Chain A
Amino acid sequence: MTNFTINGKDVTVDVEEDTPLLWVVRDELRLTGSKFGCGVAQCGACTMMVDGMPRRTCVTPVGSVNGAMIETIEGLEGPEAEAVTAAWQGLDVPQCGWCQSGQIVSATALLREVPKPTDDDIDAAMAGNICRCATYVRIRKAIHDAADAMEG
């Protein structure tokens, strides 16, 4: 049994403790916004916020998040998340869309730490998220737009 809070809701799951968190969230909790892309923490499609930090959940054993606070794309909240999502929609960032939940979670995590990121900050925070459609030009612009919007 593993207990954690996900998107503000307390849950208990009865799965093997070495099961990757990604598959527990998708298969057991049916929150399917977080995606599988590589299984080896190389692409970032599975990124969720675990205790406020972006985490590659395809390699995170569920047993290691007992008691943790988890946020997924479905429950991402707060001014940074709202600004990021609005900027993403404003620029029509997604193409195929598969990686975008992970991109948005990583971008939100960045803005929570660095409200006005430079291009270097963006490179450092986002280099772990692959977009095979190469929407990177718009991802970069959307992060700047979100930062500008929050600054008011």
Chain B
Amino acid sequence: MTIQSRRQFLATGAGLVIGLALPMQGRAQSGAAAVLTRDGVGPGTFAPNAFVRIAPDNTVTVICKHIEFGQGPFTGLATLVAEELDASWDQMRAESAPANDELYKNLFFGLQATGGSTAIANSYTQMRQAGAAARYMLVAAAAREWGVSAEEIIVEDGVITHAASGQAATFGDLAEAAAQQQVPVEPALKNPSEFKLIGTDRPKLDTVGKTDGTAMFTMDVYRDDMQTVVVRHPEVVGATVATFDDSEALKVKGVQAVRQIPQGIAVYATSTGAALKGRSLLTVEWDTSKAETRSSETIYADFSKAATRDAGVVVEEIGDSGAAIDGAETVHEVEFRFPYLAHAPMEPLDAVLEVRDGKAEMWMGAQFPGVDKGAVAQTLGIGGENVTLNVMLAGGSFGRRAQTSAQIGLEIAEIAKAAGGDGAWKLVWTREDDLTGGYYRPLTVHRMRAGLDADGSIVGWENTVVNQSIMLDTFMDQGNSEGKDPTSYEGSTKMPYDLPTIRVNWVRQQSPLSVLWWRSVGHSHTGYATEVFLDELLEMAGKDPVQGRLDLMKSEAGRDRAVLEKVAEIAGWDGTKVKGDRAYGVAVHESFNTYVAQIAEVSDVGGFPRVHKVWVAVDCGVAVNPNVIRAQIEGGVGYGLGTVLFNDLTLLEGGIVSQKNFDTYRMLRIHEMPEVDVAIINSVAEPTGVGEPGTPPIGPAVANAWRALTGQAVRHLPFETTGV
């Protein structure tokens, strides 16, 4: 990498480029234009981190370090920049930052990463500083050009003016001159009371391209002489090729080569149609000796057997729950079962790689782009500096493209390596590849036990969580985990309720089957287990689901309390769980520092729940883009609802994945989508995420309504499996 001084860097492009570098460790340390020391860069060398580009045509482009796959960072980060820049929303644009773990790191994680609902939270100060710095430099340039004092210059709605002299200019007019100004070290930020854009709705920057067919995703990339490649993967996750016969595949017009790679058998063709046809004619024998060959049923039985209160590691303990429950008037003990789940993003996984003269360029929707880029560099034996990864819009992800193992980066690299030499390849996964491709939400068992005293008060609460670890043994495991992986049980601890005794233990299970974070990660099962179990206890005690929860809340659980009170208010909760043929269920759950409460209205249609309406109250701190927040909550409700009603990625005997496409892995459809009414709590707290927190409460809210309506407790998801 060539080291450039700030001035050199700024002079390389037309217009103004604002470089910001923030220190490595989180938001506690900030500071625009800080000096960064790192390997290969001498002390004191400025390493600019370009987030803002102002062009002579007066457009302001925000280079977004987070991948856009529908959760809204293009609009969100651009809002933060535009606010401090005092730009006009019409001039704002956004594009993806390329892979660069140093310049575009997630300040919470230390590498370029989108996940954990952190995009707005980790960018809030950083992007505002980027906008403020640009504004400062534009004003300085104007002051110099006009020979006036910077203090007398006003910037409003993208126009820079000096009233006394009658001077006015656009950002584009001054871009070139602004590039010559000093970058401020600590640009002043607005007080939240001065916000004009933050907290109000503006059109999303990525909407138009997604309504006229012009938005570019990975699968839409075509390169000269590119081959389309599909891979025959095993139907048992983790199986490897024993033998194969490609003679029929090679007869297909357009099929140019077939190669064995570690992931399976790759078919190289001139078109997608030819590649798919060729793949369908392969005969492959698989070696399953290193794969998970147990069925889901067997795994449930094994996990259930492992779910004893003394197994694993204790992850939360308050008082002596054992003695309290043993001495209780009533003991309630149940087991919850949660299946493996596929993320099933609408755009199946894909990547494009072009190798020319020892340099590689990639196009891919990656949540950890540096990891996939590194996998390509390593596999091809070329230095990372010779690999460019263009982060593309992605057709959904829900965690699937956050690969600690670089699953797709490695696969496209092996395809290139097996082809040998220069070329361009597009890897296309089909839906069958997606659903049978592993990296599922971990199958999980919760064994729960609680005791009530004669008054119906909870005297003890125990939860044994059994599943595989997502993070341990990956690079995300920082070596200080003490054998604990919070992503396996997060949400089962630190509940907002003030219970006298609590014991939560986590029992790690091993399997060769790959598992991964899935929208809301541990909360996807802990939110259900805790909020359904609590609701059952409140029912046994004859208590109201809303007031019963409020009465239990700790004094410090103010935000949990506020969302629960708010949702009760907008839903018109009056303590009646069943009205006519409709029942109402409640759940409240915090995840990723965002607080969400939901009430679901449910009826029984032919013995299966129909969810008519869901009321939601959400507290995510400062509401940067209320419209995006509402959209994410609506979508989170729909995503969670379809899952609890229908989805079970089932392993059959021998480990074969049962569901291979949407005909059997059922997605929620429009006629099953409830109305969603979202109330956003006013807040000046630092903003937190909204991509995931809408998902956990919908399952328990529906289950609690269904139990009120029918008396049937749903403890084995999905509803279809419980026999609803």
Contact residues of A with B, CB < 8 Å? 15-16, 18-20, 23-24, 26-28, 30-40, 42-43, 45, 72-74, 85, 88-89, 92-101, 104, 122-123, 126-127, 129-140
Q: Which of B212, B667, B675 contacts A33 (CB 8 A)?
A: B212
- Report the Cα distance A56→B673, complex, angstroms: 23
A42→B430 CA distance, assembly (Å): 13
What are 24 pairs between A and B in contact, CB < 8 Å?
A16-B274, A19-B271, A23-B271, A27-B222, A31-B213, A32-B213, A33-B212, A33-B214, A36-B272, A40-B431, A43-B662, A73-B213, A92-B207, A96-B345, A96-B346, A96-B393, A97-B210, A98-B347, A101-B213, A130-B669, A133-B396, A134-B641, A136-B673, A140-B670
Question: A134 near B431 (CB under 8 angstroms)?
Answer: no
| B213 close to A74 (CB less than 8 A) | yes
Tell me, rounded to whole Å, the shortest Cβ–Cβ distance linking A121 to chain B. 11
Q: Give the shortest distance, in Å, between A43 (CB) and chain B (any CB).
A: 6
Given contacts A42-B663, A134-B638, 5 further A-B contacts (CB under 8 A): A23-B271, A74-B212, A74-B213, A100-B211, A137-B676
Decide: B203 and A92 in contact? CB cutoff 8 A.
yes
Query: Which B residues are in CB contact (< 8 Å) with A74?
Result: 212-214
Q: CA separation between A94 and B628, bound complex, in Å?
A: 11
Whether, in the assembled complex, B185 has its beta carbon less than 8 Å from a beta carbon of chain A, the answer is no
Measured between alpha carbons, how far is A118 from B275 in the docked complex, in Å? 43
Q: What 0/1 pattern do residues 341 to 360 of B give for CB contact below 8 A with A?
A: 00011111000000000000
Which chain B residue lies CB-closest to A33?
B213
Per-position binary interface string of chain B over residues 599-631, scored 1 when its CB falls under 8 Å from any chain A CB and 0 otherwise? 000000000000000000000000000010001
A136: chain B residues within 8 A (beta carbon): 638, 668-670, 673
Kindly state the separation between the CA atoms of A72 and B212 in the bound complex, as whole angstroms.
Answer: 10
Q: Does B206 contact A (CB under 8 A)?
A: yes
Given the interface pairs A23-B271, A42-B661, the reply to whether A138 lies near B631 with Cβ below 8 Å is: yes
Residue among A23, A72, A94, A98 facing the most chain B CB atoms (10 A cut-off): A98
Asked whether A39 lies within 8 Å of B431 as measured between CB atoms, the reply is yes
Would you call A134 and B217 a contact (CB within 8 A)? no
A88 to B431, CA, bound (A): 27
Q: Mark B276-288, 1 if CB is under 8 A from A, else 0.
A: 1100000000000
What 7 A-B pairs have minimum CB-CB distances, sorted nearest first? A33-B213, A134-B638, A98-B395, A95-B70, A97-B210, A96-B70, A136-B673
CA distance A98 to B663 in the complex (A): 19
User: Is B362 engaged at the interface, CB distance under 8 Å to the other chain?
Assistant: no
Min C-beta distance of A29 to chain B, whole Å: 11
B70 and A97 form a contact (CB under 8 A): yes
In whole angstroms, how far apart are the Cα atoms of A45 and B661 in the complex?
14
Q: How many residues of chain B get a CB closer than 8 Å to chain A's CBs?
A: 67
Complex CA distance for A109 and B444, rounded to whole angstroms: 44
With an 8 A cutoff between CB atoms, is B707 at the interface?
A: no
A122 to B672, CA, bound (A): 12
Task: Note all chain A residues with C-beta closer than 8 A to B71.
Answer: 95
A33 to chain B, nearest CB (A): 2
B212 and A40: CB pair below 8 A? Answer: no
Chain B 459-510 residues near chain A, CB threshold 8 A: none
A-B pair count, CB < 8 Å, reads 190
Which residue of the partner chain, among B212, B214, B273, B432, contacts A24 with CB atoms under 8 Å?
B273
Q: Contact at B635–A95, with CB atoms within 8 Å?
A: yes
Closest to B614 in A: A137
A129 to B260, CA, bound (A): 36
Q: Mark B396-431, 1 if CB is under 8 A from A, else 0.
A: 111000000000000000000000000000001011
Known A-B contacts A15-B273, A89-B208, A97-B393; the reply to A37 vs B213 at CB < 8 A is no
B305 on the interface (CB 8 Å rule)?
no
Contact check, B346 vs A135: say whether CB atoms are below 8 A apart. no
Q: Is the CB of B670 within 8 A of A129?
A: yes
* Residues in chain A near residue B397, CB distance under 8 A: 96
CA distance A94 to B211 in the complex (A): 8
Pair A135/B213 contact, Cβ less than 8 Å: no
In the complex, are the beta carbons of A40 and B662 less than 8 A apart?
yes
What residue in chain A is nearest B344 (Cβ atoms)?
A132
Contact A134 B668 (CB under 8 A): yes
Chain B residue at minimum C-beta to C-beta distance from A134: B638
Instruction: Give CA–CA (A127, B671) in the complex, Å.
Output: 7
Does A43 contact B346, Cβ atoms closer than 8 Å?
A: yes
The answer to whether B668 touches A100 (Cβ under 8 A) is no
Q: Which of A38, A94, A132 interacts with B206 by CB under 8 Å?
A: A94
Is B228 on the interface with A (CB-CB < 8 A)? yes
* Chain B residues within 8 Å of A132, by CB: 344-346, 396, 398, 639, 667
- By the criterion CB–CB under 8 Å, are A23 and B634 in contact? no
For residue B676, give the distance in angstroms from its CB to the closest CB of chain A.
6
Q: What residues of chain A lie closer than 8 Å to B676, measured between beta carbons?
A: 137
- B661 contacts across to A, CB distance below 8 A: 38-40, 42
Roughly how many angstroms separate A19 CA and B348 CA in the complex, as a whole number? 20
B27 within 8 A of A: no
Q: Is B69 an interface residue (CB 8 A)?
A: yes
Q: Chain A contacts of B219 at CB under 8 A?
A: 32, 35-36
Q: Specify the chain A residue showing the minimal Cβ separation from B639.
A: A134
Write the nearest CB–CB distance from B290 to chain A, whole angstroms. Answer: 29
A120 to B222, CA, bound (A): 41
> Using a CB-CB cutoff of 8 Å, which residues 187-204 of chain B contact chain A?
203-204
Is B631's CB under 8 angstroms from A96's CB? no
Contact at A138–B272, with CB atoms within 8 Å?
no
Interface residues of B in 669-721 (CB under 8 A from A): 669-671, 673, 675-676
Tell yes or no: B7 within 8 A of A by CB.
no
Contact A16 B253 (CB under 8 A): yes
B276 contact set on A, CB distance < 8 A:
23, 39
Closest Cβ of chain B to A81, distance in Å, is: 10
Query: Is B215 in the interface zone, CB < 8 Å from A?
Result: yes
**Cross-chain contact of B346 among A27, A32, A98, A127 (Cβ < 8 A):** A98
The yes or no answer to B94 lying at the interface (CB within 8 A) is no
Contacts A74-B212, A134-B634, A137-B676 given; indicate if A94 touches B207 (C-beta within 8 A).
yes
Are A130 and B635 interface neighbours, CB within 8 A?
Answer: no
The reply to whether A19 and B273 form a contact with Cβ atoms under 8 Å apart is: yes
